Structure 1
Amino acid sequence: MQTTKIQEVPFCWPQGFKSDGIHTGLKKATDQLDLGWLYSAVPAQAAGMYTTNRFCAAPTAITKQLINKQQQLQAIIMNSAIANSCTGTTGEANVHQEQKLVAQKLKINSNLVGVASTGLIGAQLPMSKITAGINKLQLTTNTKVTQAILTTDTHAKKISLQFKLANQLCTISGFAKGSGMIAPNMATMLGFVTTDVAVAPNVLQPLLSKLTDKTFNQITVDGDTSTNDMVVVLANGQAGNSPLTEAAPDWSIFTAALHQVLAFLAQQIAGDGEGATKLLEVNVNHAATESEGQQVAKALVGSNLVKAAFFGADPNWGRIISTLGMTNAQFNPQQIDLAFNEFQILIASQPQEFERKAVIASLKQNKIKISLDLHAGNASGQAWGCDLTYDYVKINATYSS
């Protein structure tokens, strides 16, 4: 059986990709980037996942239409500060104008240009600034676009992996933004994954859909879903491997690499939740079904009581039990095992003796693992979230001002 090492490397673009990011005046501070683009030397196979919010922003809806129709993109223009959401026909016209401007500059078809926006809902894009910004964008190998999409994020979220397919060195690189309004399904997040792997038509979308359910759809910060959420994967084939299908021997390698990128970005978003101080990871074992395991894990990281308890490093395991009891998952209430990090809290639903000071010290770490065994089957589930802090309220009380 072939074994291939998937290695994380310093962030870089796969073969054939270029990008740039600049400040064009959408944000007040001149040192904050707010406009960027991503470009492939050739049209790339494209797949996407999008917000389930019924108020779907114009850039998200139009990009979704493009990808669903043709499964190809060659460029994406993206901005922060203004979401271009709930902006009516003017907002739609501005998206088409962005496509036209980018296409003219890059000398490509406007139908190959995706658009992504994030920021304040309800404001129209200042097209004079957008136009001036597009005119300034260059095709470079810099990674400034990873900064240009940030809103309340505290840092850029990015990762690059390399591996070999049939002796061809391949790269997959992803970056994302997201800090608040993070909940199922998708969130106020933008995610972009680029790879030089060649994939056959009609296989990338099912794979992304499957992996999104295990990654981006298993994070929550505050239970709110935005209007602009989108994750797009572009595969331009510049590595020179034979186009992958699900039956290809190397399909599992590519699947594992894409899963690793999406899981990393999902955890980065959860850990950078607005005002957050801790990343919460819930692992549910021996669930009756995978969907029930995922449901329980998501419920626990989404509970405000659970999130507040871990902010205070309070080993109040009753918060976990009460949240579990509100789910529809199958389990025997007398057979639940629970652990916080390395400390066993419950066995067969019976409290275990533990050194309280040691557990509290453990819960002050920046990552907390909650392990729950339902003893109901052979399935599992995993989800990520963050603690609920005073700063979350401060950030969202003054967001539009």
Structure 2
Amino acid sequence: MLYLDILILIITGVGAIYGIWSGDNLNKKKATISTIITVCGVTATLSLSVWKYLDDRKSAVIAARLRTDELLTTLAATELRNVDVAWTFDNVPPGALQLLDIGDALVDSYFLANEDVDRLPADERRKVDMAERIDTTVEPMLGLIASGTSDPSGLFEGEDIGIALARFKNDPKGWVDGLGTALHYKGGNYELLFPLNPNSDAILSLGKPGDDPVSDEPSAWQQDTNLFAKTNFAFKVGATSAEGSVTLHWIYDRGSLNRAAERPTDGELSGGFGKVFSFLIVHRRLERTSYLNELTSRLSALPPERAAGGGWADHSTLQISVNGLANPHYVYDVTYAGTHSYAPNRGAYDAPVEEFAYTRFDCRLRALD
């Protein structure tokens, strides 16, 4: 709108000046004075328009900040009953995108090799599908994100990835007759430790079934011990792609939050998140008691040992919705902050022994609306 106002003023001023100098019986002295007055008037009006525009923008920014602060305060005082976390990466390299196809192939192979599971009712079958994708898609993707690499070939063995995917997509009969593929994940273990509450004094290991045991006893369809351990959770998790982007998605309802969130005995969960916070991808399995006792200090700023190097996972977007509300929801800019080693005896005279490595990601609030 400001540009339109400026254009109108300039056109009006030019027209006025043209009228001054194009009349009959031109008096150059009077025309010059009139031109100066016109230019000064246009300049003053332009200055006033720009000042008003900037003042309005400043007021809007202040109002937005006040609204954000009010929402942060309100959400911090609200009990957390549901949390929906979506972590999105744009311009993902083809190799990393291929992980979703690999996951599809491995899940299909699992059902082909386990006919009884394949015949389960739709709800139970979806649960098994989700559990399989934790191991075949989400965890390998966390490994690629943490390392900043995009080639999944070193994470799997049993068959060449290209050959397996070609058979899966182009030879359905041969795929079924051969019961899918022998391809399987051989990479490391990764956990995403995600802080809750404005002070990050509670932590979820996102997508970890063992932290969310729904039942002490298996249902009729879970009589297989491995199947029960794999599917005994209530949170939802998935990975999707669209136009070169990848989104990892987790949803925890109230029951799952109460079971899975590690926090002090009397700790409560609120819908508040800080304007700035960090989370970790840990390069190994951890005991749940370690989340707070050993890793809270790891969330503080440390100089990275292997810093970001312009990789595809260096910048991403995090969206958090609470209590089933589409709005307001948090939107964070996420920055890769380096990979570090946790070595408890780092100050010893001999070389410290690395207990585990972890990759930190820093989040800064972009919007809350």
TM-score (norm 2): 0.24
TM-score (norm 1): 0.23
- Structure with the bigger percentage of helix: 2
Q: Rg larger in 1 or in 2?
A: 2
RCO higher in structure (CA 8 A, sep ≥6): 2
